[in-house]
Structure 1
Amino acid sequence: MFDLDGTLIHGSAAAVEISRQLGVEREIDRLEQDFAAGRLTPVGFATAACELWGETLTDAIVTAAFDGAPWLDGIRDVWADIAARGERCAVISLSPHFFVERLLAWGADAAHGSRWPDVPLRDRVNPAGILDAGAKVRIADELCAAYGLERADCVAYGDSMSDALLFAAVPVSVAVNADHHVRDVASHSYTGRDLREAYGLVGARVR
């Protein structure tokens, strides 16, 4: 199970990459700081970001943000190896679904993001669709049930406080370019730009 922002995307986030395409990096940086400091909830962040982007956000801009993001190297290699072993991989992220779900084309078996309004952003944010840290554990449990697995079968990869509850719920975790919230509680810690190397820390070498 893989987080997106700061984990698969090195030093950035879906919202940051979308805002860069729209020329509102400074504004999204303030929202990111407020969210990290606890001054914005996930619902508050989603609402403010939707107001910032509005109907100027198009599918073409989301595609450009996705394609231009600073992804870790080796993501598709790792996911192909997971599939070859008869195992499953999923992305669980607080970021908007219309960004996260694009990772299905890279080989993820499941990709869960917050359910933001569809692009262009004409509708209001529905708080019920916005994920938080606890939702990551709930989704992990749902995936385990769907695939006939248990928490004991799982490995989690993440970088920040939103991953801490999931790290506590599974037996093996890898902190990837992480802050102290998860680095201090993870089974393994990795700093770098290649997911194959982080994957190798749990003994799963890419074939």
Structure 2
Amino acid sequence: MTKLHVFDMDGTLLRGSATIEICRHIGHLAAARAIEDGWARGEIDDIEFWDRCMPLWCDLTDADIDRAFHAGEWIEGVAEVLADIAARGEYSAVITQSPQFFVDRMLHWGATTVHGAAVELGGKPGPEWLLSVEDKVRITKSLIDRYGLTTADCVAYGDSTSDVGIFQYLPYTVAVNGNPAIRDLAVASYEGWDLREAYAIGRALLSGRRPAREVKESSVCSGRS
């Protein structure tokens, strides 16, 4: 039976966030950081987050998004890991609260499916734009059903509170540079900047070489989701 690897993006595959990468490219980095910080402190909600981003992106083009994506501060080995999963006949899903128009670019790196917030440039933010913690679980359940898998055939990789639901749902989970809450939930933790090493931990969990809900530290550690 094949496997499903579920990845968060911001803070997991990207060192920062899609919002930061886009605004860095178009010259609004300070404004983007202020928005991200306000959201992290709970001073603005998810809809206001997008309401503040939209004016910064009023002239954003597909070429801008492409350049921001490819110049992004990705951890090492993302494309290689996605390609390896595909070569094995397995599935990968990237599920993120960042814009769908950004995460779509990961399909070119070999991701099987990508799922992001339904942000529309020039549109008015509303609840329909949001991708919640519960949505991450819902999407994962739908993929498990689509591929004829069980939860024991899946492993999730994440770093923050947006991943709590899926880490509670799946038996195999890897915290990648995770915050304390997600490390406490994770079966295994990886600290470093090479996805290939975190992926090796995930493969070990799926193969049964590490016991679920017991391993907290990786033996191969190096140095808004």
TM over 0.5: yes
Equivalents in 2 of 1:142, 1:125: separation in Å?
Answer: 26
Q: Does the residue aligned with 2:83 lie in a helix, a strand or coil?
A: helix
Tell me how far 1:75 sits from its aligned partner: 1.5
- 1:180 paired with 2:180, answer yes
Equivalents in 2 of 1:82, 1:60: separation in Å?
Answer: 28
What's 2:31 paired with?
Answer: 27
- 1:77 paired with 2:85, answer no
Tell me how far 1:109 sits from its aligned partner: 0.4
Tell me how far 1:204 sits from its aligned partner: 4.7
Equivalents in 1 of 2:50, 2:134: separation in Å?
Answer: 17
What's 1:9 paired with?
Answer: 14
What's 1:167 paired with?
Answer: 167
Give me the identity figure in percent. 45
- 1:107 paired with 2:100, answer no
Q: Provide the alpha-carbon RMSD of the alignment.
A: 1.6
Equivalents in 2 of 1:2, 1:8: separation in Å?
Answer: 8
What's 2:221 paired with?
Answer: none
Tell me how far 1:43 sits from its aligned partner: 2.3
Equivalents in 1 of 2:202, 2:103: separation in Å?
Answer: 25
Q: How far does the alpha carbon of each residue in 1:62-90 deviate from its partner, in whole angstroms, 9 at most, with x for none?
A: 11110110112111221222223321100
Letter in 1 for 2:13: L
Equivalents in 1 of 2:192, 2:67: separation in Å?
Answer: 24
What's 2:151 paired with?
Answer: 151
What's 2:54 paired with?
Answer: 50
What's 2:63 paired with?
Answer: 60
Q: How far does the alpha carbon of each residue in 1:170-198 deviate from its partner, in whole angstroms, 9 at most, with x for none?
A: 00111111111211211111111111100
Letter in 1 for 2:51: T
Stretches of structure 1 that go unaligned for 5 or more consecutive residues are none
Tell me how far 1:126 sits from its aligned partner: 3.7
Tell me how far 1:143 sits from its aligned partner: 1.1
Stretches of structure 2 that go unaligned for 5 or more consecutive residues are 1-5, 206-225
Which residue, out of 91, 95, 100, partners 2:94? Answer: 91
Letter in 1 for 2:161: M
Equivalents in 1 of 2:127, 2:65: separation in Å?
Answer: 22
Which residue, out of 44, 49, 55, partners 1:40? Answer: 44
Tell me how far 1:42 sits from its aligned partner: 2.3
What's 2:136 paired with?
Answer: 136
Structure 1 moving runs of 4+ over 3 Å: none
Q: Does the residue aligned with 1:56 lie in a helix, a strand or coil?
A: coil
Tell me how far 1:49 sits from its aligned partner: 1.0
8 A contact 1:42–1:131 mirrored in 2: no
Q: Does the residue aligned with 1:184 lie in a helix, a strand or coil?
A: helix
Q: How far does the alpha carbon of each residue in 1:111-156 deviate from its partner, in whole angstroms, 9 at most, with x for none?
A: 0000000xxx222224213101111111111111111122232111
